[in-house]
């Protein structure tokens, strides 16, 4: 089974690998959502995504970059 929206750290780590040159501080939520959905390991319903979920993924990504 793949990652779900609640797996923010794992998703952030996969996003860092898939988009090494991306700046998570400059990423807009619609783009972030599409990137998550496109991950091979992602397996959740896109309708279960909301702003708080994307914010958690973005914050996990930012903390890993620092």
The secondary structure element, H or E, covering residue 17 is helix 8-18
DSSP of 29-61, one letter per residue? HHHHHHHHHHSTTB-S-GGG--HHHHHHHHHHH
Three-state DSSP class for 23? coil
Tell whether the model's pLDDT for residue 66 goes beyond 90.
no
Q: Which two tokens stand for residue 64?
A: 């890993």
pLDDT at 1: 76
Tens digit of pLDDT for each residue in 10-63? 999 999 999 999 999 999 999 999 999 999 999 999 999 999 999 999 999 999
Go through the domains of the chain in sequence order and give each one's CATH number: 8-65 (1.10.10.600)
The pTM of this model reads 0.94
pLDDT at 3: 96
Distance CA 2, CA 52 (A): 20
């Amino acid at each position: 089974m793949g990652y779900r929206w609640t797996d923010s750290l794992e998703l952030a780590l996969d996003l860092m690998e898939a988009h090494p040159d991306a700046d998570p501080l400059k990423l807009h939520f619609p783009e972030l959502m599409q990137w998550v959905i496109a991950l091979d390991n992602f397996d959740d319903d896109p309708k279960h995504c909301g702003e708080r979920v994307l914010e958690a993924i973005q914050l996990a990504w930012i903390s890993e970059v620092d």
